Amino acid sequence: MPRSAVLLFSILIPILEFSTPIRASQIDSMDPDLRPGVVLGFDQALDEMTKKHSTVLVQKTQTNIAGQRVLEKKYGFLPTISVGGSQSSASLGSPSVNSISATANINLFRAGADFSAVSAASYDKEAEESTLEDKTLAAETESAEVLVTDISKRLQTEVLAKSVQTFQTGFDIAQQRYNKSILPLQEVDKLSVDLDNAMARLRDAQEQANTADANLVRLLGHEHIRFEWPWKKRLQSEAVRSLIQKEIPLTNRPDYKAALAQTQAEAKRTSQSYRTIFPSLDLSVSEGTSQYLGQSYSGLSGTVGLSMPLFNGLHDYAEYGIQLENQSASEIRLRQLERDIKSSAKAAQKNLEIALTTALAREKTLETSQRLYRANELRLKQGRASANELAVDQTRLNDSELLALQGWSDAHLAFVNLCHAFGRRVKDCD
């Protein structure tokens, strides 16, 4: 093989080995981490569900693909090498001519179109990386909703189960007083109906909790989590309250960074389309060796070619016009996204403020309801209150407990939304 071909191969092989494509097996394992018997905290479960989410894993592959496209554009600067050989003779039985040659072709000048293509691919990669961050936040939102819903439904089930026990206790007391002819049968029947209704509400809540468990298993792989509100103290901290007043910078938002990078990529593609209209300068170098009648002949030749299409149906000009429109559309989407982010961020701050105030107010209402119920329960045992009065207090207590649960559920989800409005994961939000 000619020396020039050997030299070029010695340069190319290390480059190709260094840039081996990323295999799918290098992506995070998708197998669910069941870990039987281990009960996860809210934050740990949230992080694990987010990492396992299919949209995050798929986006990782898209980011890797974008990285390979950058390498593909960079490889365009490398020469094209071909090796050929032939054997020929003038007639049957006459001496043959054996020849072998190596040819290298490389572009010297394309008005910067190749550089624009590399830049566009690099911005596309940045956009995919930011999209990965954005989809991670979206996956965390869905995971948080599933977790909060599951905790809320489980706690509601506990509240209603306790309500059934309380109605059962009231019914037993009323039955005893009826047996002593202290309470009329009508009062006992009222408590019996209330008990049946409480049991019906409990069964409905259990069905909803089972559905919530199924959604949790779908994302986490198991349902071994602690059923308690994790951020009650955190939501009342000064660090969280300060988020309500802070200005949200656009540059922290991954969706904005992705849209900005995409706009820059479209601008580079516009530049690439424009530059392909200009002439192209190419270099071709060929070295060959021939053997005839025991004699060897070698030669080296080089050619520099300038090519410019005189008319190709104006395809280049049409492509440039299309790309200009694509760039304009990308800029319009970016400006609209800026407005959307500002409005949604302010809404997220107001929603957290309202949700937190509501949750704390409902906690105080619950304390009052508990105190009223305990007082009336004691009065019923002393014969100073009717069963109907206790049922009213029990219903008031149930409503207060369920509203308190809903208040903390809303506050937790509002906090997640506000963190994402800042472009942060929940664990990095303080």
The pLDDT tens digits of the residues spanning 202-246 come to: 999 999 999 999 999 999 988 899 888 999 999 999 989 888 888
Phi, psi for 87 (deg, rounded to 5): -140, 125
Of 151, 411, 226, the closest CA to residue 159 belongs to 151
Specify if 101 maps to a domain. no
Name the pLDDT band for 22 (thresholds 50, 70, 90).
very low
pLDDT at 20 > cutoff 60: no
> How many helices (H) and strands (E) are present in the chain, helices listed first?
10, 4
Answer with the residue of higher pLDDT: 395 or 200: 200
Mean pLDDT of the chain: 85
Specify if 292 maps to a domain. no
**Are 294 and 301 in contact, with CB atoms under 8 Å apart?**
no
Total domains in the fold of the chain: 1
**What confidence score (pLDDT) does residue 18 get?**
38
Specify if 262 maps to a domain. yes
pLDDT at 15 > cutoff 60: no
Q: What digits encode the pLDDT tens for the residues 390-420?
A: 778 888 888 999 999 999 999 999 999 999 9
Specify if 12 maps to a domain. no
**What confidence score (pLDDT) does residue 405 get?**
94
**What confidence score (pLDDT) does residue 10 get?**
43
Strand 280-292, strand 80-89: pairing = unpaired
Average pLDDT over residues 93-106: 82
Q: Which domain holds residue 206?
A: 17-78+110-277+314-428
Specify if 141 maps to a domain. yes
Of 345, 349, 371, 364, the closest CA to residue 423 belongs to 345
Cross-strand bridge partners of residue 86: 99
- Grouping H, G, I as helix, E, B as strand and the rest as coil, residue 216 is helix
Specify if 225 maps to a domain. yes
pLDDT at 8 > cutoff 50: no
Domain harbouring 68, CATH code: 1.20.1600.10
pTM for the model stands at: 0.79
Question: Which of the listed ranges 30-39, 86-95, 139-148, 309-318 does the model predict with the highest average pLDDT?
Answer: 139-148
**What confidence score (pLDDT) does residue 203 get?**
95
Specify if 30 maps to a domain. yes
Specify if 212 maps to a domain. yes
Q: How many CB atoms lie within 10 A of CB 126?
A: 19
Q: What digits encode the pLDDT tens for the residues 119-156?
A: 999 999 999 999 999 999 999 999 999 999 999 999 99
